[in-house]
Structure 1
Amino acid sequence: MAGARIERLITSGKFSLDGGTWDVDNNVWIVGDDEEAVVIDAAHDAGAIARALDGRTLRAIVCTHAHNDHIGAAPDLATWTGAPILLHADDLPLWKQTQPERAPDGALTDGQRITVAGAELTVLHTPGHAPGAVCLHAPGLSALFSGDTLFAGGPGATGRSYSDFPTIIASISERLLSLPGDTVVHTGHGENTTIGAEAPHLQEWIDRGF
């Protein structure tokens, strides 16, 4: 796809919600070529992300959802690069909890297409972990960027505010498991998986209330 490639940067920091705080490592995904890129989930460390971009034009900062560990570096990165921050409107209440002074620049919508370096990323609205959670499907790269909707081993957590287990199961079942089995799932935390590896376990997740 015109030289487009996927790079992973791991950043570390805190996730805070509902009065609790946890240490977390986040995957920051950079999709692009030597000239331009998009960042998916600007987590924790804007300086580290800027260094990884290494002078490339940043076309957009895409937020899979608005938990603070996924958006904390977005405002500074946007200021430094001039790139717009994009977030699904249903996650604005979560965004405002930790970023009340700076609104996103644009809204992600289901079916929206983001193009960078010849690669096309389609926005899939996949609520459950958060109301405005989205995944990004890049068929030309055989890739899905799942945020915290789907991990190696099961769905994202739904035990906190703004989340819902039946909703995340429906999102995964209806929006993700129909993708080609060899689609690589690039997750918000931890290691990659594939759609084919996760699809057989849907009923197990339901039975376990994962």
Structure 2
Amino acid sequence: MAARIERLVTSGQFSLDGGTWAVDNNVWIIGDDAEVIVIDAAHDADVIAAALGDRRLRAIVCTHAHNDHIDAAPALAARTGAPVYLHPDDQILWKQTHPERDPDGFLTDRSRLRVAGIELTVLHTPGHTPGGICLYAPDLDTVFTGDTLFASGPGATGRSFSDFPTIIRSIRDVLLALPRDTVVRTGHGECTTIGEEAPNLQTWIARGH
């Protein structure tokens, strides 16, 4: 069976810089009836594991290390035996949530992952966090953007370890270089496309946030 994309929404809290907010997160499952990859194991390992069923989980990939995107990763890894992968520049954030456990491996720009006959390419897109990544799956006409790009614009850059000019460079130079019909599957909220977002770049720059 051909690879497909499933979205699971989990709810929990995002905490940083002394504040805490209620959030709904997109957990993306990519694969077929035999094997899958999970992007951003958020909030509830039991719910994610139930969605996987008896399929083999090949990897848990973190688009960045804010707690709401990684809080369930160790528990899901322990339950399934799957490794947890992160960009090394987000290790400092990872340790705020999981001081007792390191990721199992690190992903760098243009690293590749394979599942169910398709390939996902890691794109380092810092700005929201130093080690933020997106995963581009050309066979599925999709890029998974975590909190780098939303239907409403760039991810937030008003908190520690973030930088607005950096996220704009990541979006302009990396994401907007993808084909216009590429579907953008985000860390929160609804999908968009590269073509829909590209005309808004100058508006985002003018706003400065």
The question of a shared fold, defined as TM-score above 0.5 by the shorter chain, is answered with yes
Q: Which residue of 2 aligns with 1:87?
A: 86
Deviations 1:95-131 (A, max 9, x none): 0011000100000110011000011100000000000
Q: How far is 1:153 from its partner?
A: 1.7
Provide, for residues 32-74 of structure 1, a one-character-per-residue CA deviation record: whole Å limited to 9, x for no partner: 0000000000000000000000110000000000000000000
**How far apart, CA to CA, are the structure 2 residues paired with 1:34 and 1:127?**
33
State the SS of the aligned residue for 1:69: helix
- Structure 1 residue runs without a partner (length 5+): none
Tell me by how many angstroms 1:157 deviates. Answer: 0.1
Task: Tell me the residue number matched to 1:172.
Answer: 171
> Which amino acid is 2:111 matched to?
Q
Separation in structure 1 between the aligned mates of residue 128 and residue 47 of structure 2, nearest angstrom: 27
Task: Give, as a single letter, the amino acid of the residue that structure 1 aligns with 2:105.
Answer: G
Q: 1:123 maps to what in 2?
A: 122
- SS of residue matched to 2:188: coil
Partner in structure 2 of residue 4 of structure 1: 3
Superposition deviation, residue 209 in structure 1? 1.1
Take 1:199 and 1:53, find their aligned partners in 2: how far apart are those partners? 34
CA–CA distance in structure 1, aligned partners of residues 174 and 63 of structure 2: 15
Q: Give the match for residue 195 of structure 1.
A: 194
Aligned length: 209
Partner of 1:114, secondary structure, is strand
Which residue pairs with 1:103 in the alignment?
102
Q: Percent identity of the aligned residues?
A: 73
Q: For structure 2, which runs of at least 5 residues remain unmatched after alignment? A: none
Per the alignment, residue 19 of structure 1 pairs with 18
- What is the rounded CA distance, in whole Å, between the counterparts of 2:54 and 2:69 in structure 1? 22
Distance 2:54 2:108 in 1: 29
Q: Which TM-score applies when normalising by structure 2?
A: 0.99
**Superposed CA RMSD:** 0.5
> Is 2:111 the counterpart of 1:112?
yes
**Helix, strand or coil: the match of 1:51?**
helix
- Secondary structure of 1:144's counterpart equals strand
- Alignment correspondent of 1:158: 157
Task: Determine whether 1:56 maps to 2:55.
Answer: yes
Runs of at least 4 residues of structure 1 off by over 4 A?
Answer: none
Partner residue of 1:148? 147
Local SS of the residue matching 1:22: strand
